[in-house]
DNA sequence: ACGTGCTTGTGAAAGCACGCACAAAGTGGG
DNA sequence: CCCACTTTGTGCGTGCTTTCACAAGCACGT
């Protein structure tokens, strides 16, 4: 089935690995900025805050890019991870809901370090539409379909209040956007084949509160093992 | 050790479950706002975007709060989950770094629906210190220790640039804060017993890009199973 | 009092994820 | 050319997570 000797990478990278690749990438870029040319799994794992065996196994899913006895060449590994993550191409992002959060996102410079370009901002409020935010003209939400088409938007960011989020998501999907990042605190319903990720501040706080309470409760010797030490 | 017959809940809720409890809680509150008094695992699972067996197992870790043949009483379940998450007490939050993001966070009203109170805002920039944001006076970062003590801060939020994040984290820890939410794109190093969670926009985008590329790559029949359908 | 119908709570199975520990593979020195 | 040393890539055991499937339990009508 698969050719044995020249197998650079197999299909199907574990989801847990995918979620860590961006972390490795950032650690590598920091190393590169410092002029480091080569790094061992131990060194990179330290910088990324993970176990070195886990890091090696993660990287092994992309291929065999290390040199035994030496380590990994920083620049080459950056390239390989970038390619795997799809960062060698450009992604057009549209943000809907230019309120407190939307504005912060729009003004956020170091967006994805590379690859992601904010192509459009949309809102429903006549007060906001027409204003310029982060050198972009805020368009009306009614032109979403047109904007997605003309700007080739492939990733939609939702920063509207919860009540509007599902509607916006549906319109994104309708317009052909299959990657959505949702900041609104609601569960989005989308058809199969559409990828939704959510960022939820209040969930994170609640998880922190749970652990904090546990520590206070049982007190004394304290905490179960689940504490992040990142 | 534990009394056997009246065992309402056992110690040790799985981490995966803890991460979902806030989602259930929100779904329940939405139901309550609509006047629903009772909900089945199927119904709640639908609203929360998870499998109903998973939901039942999750809830079973808190105790046996459902009624067979009927379902769960919404109000009671809200109370039980809130209690388990530690939301029946108040948590004081301090935000460090009142820039684009910090301001958005400070102005964010529906913070944690309940339980979380923004007690202090801190920044290093003389331009920002002294200003009023969200009816709070922005304090200088040098007073962090004093503020933590006087306001009883138990959760620290870091919204500074990456370069300052580790320093701020260390000072939080030094001041006795053991729960940290980090928005800066760096790996924080903290001692055992300190709980760090991170929210990282650019990682989320990169994960979306990976899946989007996969869909475009293999094309045709498309996508592996890992797509979120939330 | 009892049967019917619905829903919970949970055993058991399957699938993932993690981390140890080590063989394999490369480097560099002699 | 070979040996000592370093570091990768991975087989394997372990524990956590998810899902299925069903017995047990409860409400309600008769
Ligand atoms: N501000 C934060 O720090 C923060 C933190 C966590 C989560 N959130 C969530 O992010 C979302 C946005 O928060 P915010 O503080 O920026 O709110 P906001 O009210 O400041 O901004 C919301 C914006 O969305 C626009 N909008 C409303 N309906 C729309 C529609 N149908 N189409 C297009 N635009 C529409 C509004 O005009 C407004 O400009 C909310 O769901 C909030 O719960 C915000
Ligand atoms: N803006 C966004 O949408 C966004 C999105 C994702 C991640 N982030 C991350 O969040 C962080 C903040 O982003 P931002 O856009 O608000 O940046 P920003 O530059 O607008 O604000 C940073 C603030 O931190 C303050 N600061 C710097 N060093 C400090 C220190 N040692 N102590 C206290 N305060 C200090 C600065 O004075 C400034 O007010 C960054 O790490 C950024 O990468 C931002």
Q: Is A157 left (phi over 0), alpha (psi -120 to 50) or beta?
A: beta
Tell me whether B120 touches chain A (CB under 8 Å).
no
Give the pLDDT confidence score for residue A2 in this predicted structure: 31
Q: Does residue A57 reach within 7 angstroms of strand C, measured from its CB? A: yes
Tell me which residue has its CA closest to atom 25 in ligand 1: A97
Quote the percentage of chain B above a pLDDT of 90: 85
Q: Chain-wide mean pLDDT for chain B? A: 90
Give the pLDDT confidence score for residue A230 in this predicted structure: 47
Q: How confident is residue B190, by pLDDT bands cut at 50, 70 and 90?
A: very high
Q: What is the pTM of this model?
A: 0.93
Structure tokens belonging to residue A84: 């795997």
With 50 as the cut, is the pLDDT of residue B176 above it?
A: yes
The CATH code for residues B91-202 is 3.40.50.720
Fold of A15-85: Arc Repressor Mutant, subunit A (1.10.10)
Tell me whether B222 touches chain A (CB under 8 Å).
yes
Give the pLDDT confidence score for residue B125 in this predicted structure: 98
Q: What chain B residue is nearest to A20 in terms of C-alpha separation?
A: B203
Structure tokens belonging to residue A211: 């652990």
- Distance (Å) of CA A1 to CA A6, A7, A11, B144, B206: 13, 11, 12, 61, 30
Helix (H) or strand (E) holding B116: strand B116-123
Strand C nucleotides below 7 A of a protein CB? 5-11, 16-21, 24-27
Which of B146, B200, B137 is closest to B175 using CA atoms? B146
Inter-chain contacts counted by CB atoms under 8 A, chains A and B = 220
| pLDDT of chain A, 230 residues: tens digit per residue | 333 333 344 468 999 999 999 999 999 999 999 999 999 999 999 999 999 999 999 999 999 999 999 999 999 999 999 999 999 999 999 999 999 999 999 999 877 567 899 999 999 999 999 999 999 999 999 999 999 999 999 999 999 999 999 999 999 999 999 999 999 999 999 999 999 999 999 999 999 999 999 998 766 544 444 455 44
Give the pLDDT confidence score for residue A141 in this predicted structure: 98
Give the pLDDT confidence score for residue A109 in this predicted structure: 80
Domain boundaries, chain B: 15-85, 91-202
With 80 as the cut, is the pLDDT of residue B2 above it?
A: no
Q: Does residue B51 reach within 7 angstroms of strand C, measured from its CB? A: no
Partners of B47 on chain A (C-beta within 8 Å) are: 187
Give the pLDDT confidence score for residue B89 in this predicted structure: 94
Cα B163 to averaged position of ligand 2 atoms, centre (Å): 10
Q: How confident is residue B227, by pLDDT bands cut at 50, 70 and 90?
A: low
Q: Does residue A50 reach within 7 angstroms of strand C, measured from its CB? A: yes
Q: Does residue B42 reach within 7 angstroms of strand C, measured from its CB? A: yes
Question: In this structure, are strands A136-140 and A132-133 parallel, antiparallel, or unpaired?
Answer: antiparallel
Q: How buried is residue A73: exposed, middle or buried, by Cβ count under 10 Å (0-12/13-18/19+)?
A: middle
B17 Cα to chain A: minimum distance (Å)? 10
């Amino acid at each position: 089935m698969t050719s044995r000797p020249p197998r650079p990478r197999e299909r199907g990278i574990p989801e847990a690995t995918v979620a860590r690749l961006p972390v490795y990438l950032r650690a590598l870029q920091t190393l590169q900025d410092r002029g480091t040319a080569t790094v061992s799994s131990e060194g990179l794992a330290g910088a990324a805050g993970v176990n070195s065996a886990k890091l090696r196994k993660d990287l092994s899913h992309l291929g065999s890019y290390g040199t035994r006895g030496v380590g990994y060449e920083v620049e080459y590994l950056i390239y390989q991870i970038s390619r795997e993550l799809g960062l060698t191409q450009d992604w057009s992002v549209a943000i809907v809901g230019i309120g407190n959060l939307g504005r912060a996102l729009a003004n956020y410079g170091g967006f994805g370090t590379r690859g992601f370009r904010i192509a459009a901002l949309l809102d429903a409020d006549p007060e906001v539409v027409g204003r310029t935010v982060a050198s972009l003209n805020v368009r009306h939400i009614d032109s979403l379909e047109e904007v997605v088409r003309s700007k080739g938007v492939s990733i939609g960011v939702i920063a509207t209040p919860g009540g509007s989020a599902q509607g916006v998501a549906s319109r994104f999907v309708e317009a052909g956007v299959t990657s959505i990042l949702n900041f609104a605190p609601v569960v989005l319903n989308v058809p199969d084949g559409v990828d939704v990720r959510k960022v939820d501040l209040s969930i994170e706080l609640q998880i922190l509160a749970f652990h904090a309470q546990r520590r206070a409760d049982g007190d004394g010797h304290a905490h179960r093992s689940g504490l992040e030490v990142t």
